[in-house]
Amino acid sequence: MDAPTVKPPAPYDTAVTFQFGDSPELADALLALVLAGAKTATCGALRDYDDDDPAPAAGRQDVVLDGRGRPACVIETESVLIQRFDQVDEAFALAEGEGPYEEWRDAHIAYFERNGGYAPDMMLVCERFRLIHVFDRDE
C-alpha cells in the first residue's frame, strides 16, 4: 500500500510501518478490531517478505497505519510461527478476530488469491501481537 502521509512521531519514527489488508476499507476494518482488542494475531504469505519488507520478529514494534496512511497505533510482536496455510488452527484464526474459522479461511483464501495466489501448502508467517500504543490524532 501507499507510504504513510504522516511520519510516526519519535520514538516510533524508525519503526516498520504497514497497513492490514489490501484496501483502505479493509485496513480500517482490521485496525478497528485491533483497537477494540479483538484482533491479536495476523498472518501473511512468507513469499511477500524481503529485505525491504522484513518479516515480524518477537519483540519488534511496528506502527499500524489506517486506511489513509496515517499512524494509528503501535503493536509489539509476541511470537512468530511459520507454517503452512492448512496447518493454521482454530485458536490462531480466532485470535485474528475476523470471525469463526470457516470465515477466516474463506476470507484469507480470497485475499491470497487476489495477492499472488493461494495454495493449501503455502507458507505463512503467523504473528501474535499486543497493542502497546494508540496515537492521538494530534501526534
- Identify whether 11 is part of a domain: no
CATH number, domain of 41, equals 3.10.400.10
Against a cut of 0.85, is the pTM above it? yes
pLDDT digits (tens, 9 = 90+) for 70-109: 999 999 999 999 999 999 999 999 999 999 999 999 999 9
- Identify whether 2 is part of a domain: no
- Identify whether 7 is part of a domain: no
CA distances from 116 to 48, 122, 139 (A): 9, 11, 35
* Total count of domains within the chain: 1
- Identify whether 59 is part of a domain: yes
Q: Which residue has the cell 497493542?
A: 131
> Which domain range does residue 111 map to?
16-134
